[in-house]
Amino acid sequence: MKIYSLNEMTRGWFIGDFEPSIFKTKDFEVGIMYHKKNEEPDLHYHKIITEYNVVISGKMRFEDRILSEGDIFEIVPNQINDLEFLEDTTIVCVKVPSITNDKHKVKNV
């Protein structure tokens, strides 16, 4: 058995084609994201990557939907990742595939 610490990872990402990673693969990425209530949005999109996300705790808005614990949502390529956090929120995010340079910023609207 090996033991790792999420504190040793970068921004919650622990599996994917990057360092540090507990399992290096180009097929997908896995991370645990912690967001504070009313956190400034990180407006971006991916040209290739699809994101699969599970809300573990908290409440958030994505597009016209309020999401909370247990909700799963998908962000497809070219869809703007515009999340509003209504409470402190924890999300597990899986990105397919793992491409480190496929995050494209957009200006705040």
Q: Which two tokens stand for residue 68?
A: 């909370």
> pLDDT tier at 107 (50, 70, 90 boundaries)?
confident
Residue 109 is predicted with a pLDDT of 56
- For the stretch 15-41, pLDDT in tens is 999 999 999 999 999 999 999 999 998
Average pLDDT of the chain? 96
Residue 54 is predicted with a pLDDT of 98
For residue 108, pLDDT beyond 80 = no
Residue 41 is predicted with a pLDDT of 86
Q: 56-59 contacts: CB < 8 A, separation 24 or more?
A: 56/32, 56/90, 56/91, 56/92, 57/88, 57/89, 57/90, 58/85, 58/86, 58/87, 58/88, 58/89, 58/90, 59/85, 59/86, 59/87, 59/89
Q: What percent of the chain has pLDDT over 90?
A: 94
| Residue-range domains of the chain with CATH | 6-100 (2.60.120.10)
DSSP symbol at 22? S
Q: How many residues does the chain have?
A: 109
